Amino acid sequence: MAIQEVLVPDIGSFKDVEIIEVLVSVGDTIAVEDSLITIESDKSSMEIPSPVAGVIKELKVKVGDRISEGSLVVMMEVVEAAAGAAVASQAPPSQPSPARGEGAKTASEPAKPAPVPAVLSPSPLAGEGLGKGASSSSKLDFSKAYATPSVRKFARELGADLNKVTGSGRKGRITQDDVKAYIKDVMSMGGVPGRSAATGNTLGVAPMPDIDFSQWGAIETVPLSRINKLTGEFLHRNWVHIPHVTQFDQADITDLETFRKQLNEENAKSGMKITPLVFIMKAVVAGLKAYPRFNSSLDAKGENLIRKSYYNVGVAVDTPDGLVVPVFRDVDKKSIMQLSEELKEMSAKARDKKLKPADMQGGCFSISSLGGIGGTKFTPIVNAPEVAILGVSKSDIQPVWNGKEFVPRLMLPLSLSYDHRVIDGADGARFTTYLAKMLGDIRRLLV
Length of the chain (residues): 447
**What's the pLDDT at 122?**
31
Q: Which residues contact 55 (CB under 8 A, 6 or more apart)?
A: 27, 28, 29, 30, 76, 77, 79
- The angle formed by the CA atoms of residues 201, 380 and 435, to the nearest 5 degrees, is 155
**In angstroms, rounded to a whole number, what is the distance separating the alpha carbons of residues 356 and 309?**
24
DSSP code string of 50-108: -SS-EEEEEE---TT-EE-TT-EEEEEEEPPHHHHHHHHHTS-TTSPPPPBTTTB--TT
Among 253, 204, 239, which Cα is nearest to 382's?
Answer: 239
DSSP code string of 168-233: -SGGGPBPHHHHHHHHHHHHHTTS----STTTT--TTPPPPP---GGGGS-----PPPHHHHHHHH
For 228-446, CATH gives 3.30.559.10
β-bridge mates for residue 322, sequence order: 319
**What's the pLDDT at 434?**
98
**What's the pLDDT at 1?**
67
Q: Report CA dihedral (440, 441, 446, 447) to the nearest 10 degrees.
A: -100
The torsion angles phi and psi of 406, rounded to 5 degrees, stand at -85, 130
What is this structure's pTM? Answer: 0.58
Segment-wise mean pLDDT, segments of 10 residues, the chain, 447 residues: 86 78 88 84 71 92 89 87 42 40 39 34 35 43 69 77 81 81 67 42 66 93 85 88 96 96 92 93 98 95 93 93 91 96 93 87 96 92 96 96 95 97 97 97 88
- Containing 434, the helix (H) or strand (E) segment is helix 425-440
Q: Which residues contact 188 (CB under 8 A, 6 or more apart)?
A: none
Q: Which residues contact 42 (CB under 8 A, 6 or more apart)?
A: none
For residue 382, the 8-state DSSP code is P
Neighbour-count burial of 112, counting CB atoms closer than 10 A to its CB (0-12 exposed, 13-18 middle, 19+ buried): exposed
Segments of the chain assigned to CATH 4.10.320.10: 115-201
Alpha-carbon torsion 427, 429, 430, 436, what sign? positive
By annotation, the residues acting in catalysis are 420
CA atoms within 13 A on the CB side of 54: 22
The torsion angles phi and psi of 327, rounded to 5 degrees, stand at -110, 130
**In angstroms, rounded to a whole number, what is the distance separating the alpha carbons of residues 152 and 175?**
9
Among 289, 290, 279, 286, which Cα is nearest to 253's?
Answer: 279
**What's the pLDDT at 295?**
98
The class that CATH gives domain 115-201 is few secondary structures
Q: Is 246 left (phi over 0), alpha (psi -120 to 50) or beta?
A: beta
CATH fold group of domain 1-99: OB fold (Dihydrolipoamide Acetyltransferase, E2P) (2.40.50)
For residue range 166-212, list pLDDT tens digits in order: 888 766 778 888 888 887 776 655 444 444 444 444 455 667 788 99
Contact 116, 157 (CB under 8 A): yes
**What's the pLDDT at 185?**
72
Segments of the chain assigned to CATH 3.30.559.10: 228-446
Neighbour-count burial of 29, counting CB atoms closer than 10 A to its CB (0-12 exposed, 13-18 middle, 19+ buried): middle
Segments of the chain assigned to CATH 2.40.50.100: 1-99
- Three-state secondary-structure class, residue 314: strand
**In angstroms, rounded to a whole number, what is the distance separating the alpha carbons of residues 238 and 233?**
9
Neighbour-count burial of 40, counting CB atoms closer than 10 A to its CB (0-12 exposed, 13-18 middle, 19+ buried): middle
**In angstroms, rounded to a whole number, what is the distance separating the alpha carbons of residues 385 and 373?**
28
**What's the pLDDT at 140?**
60
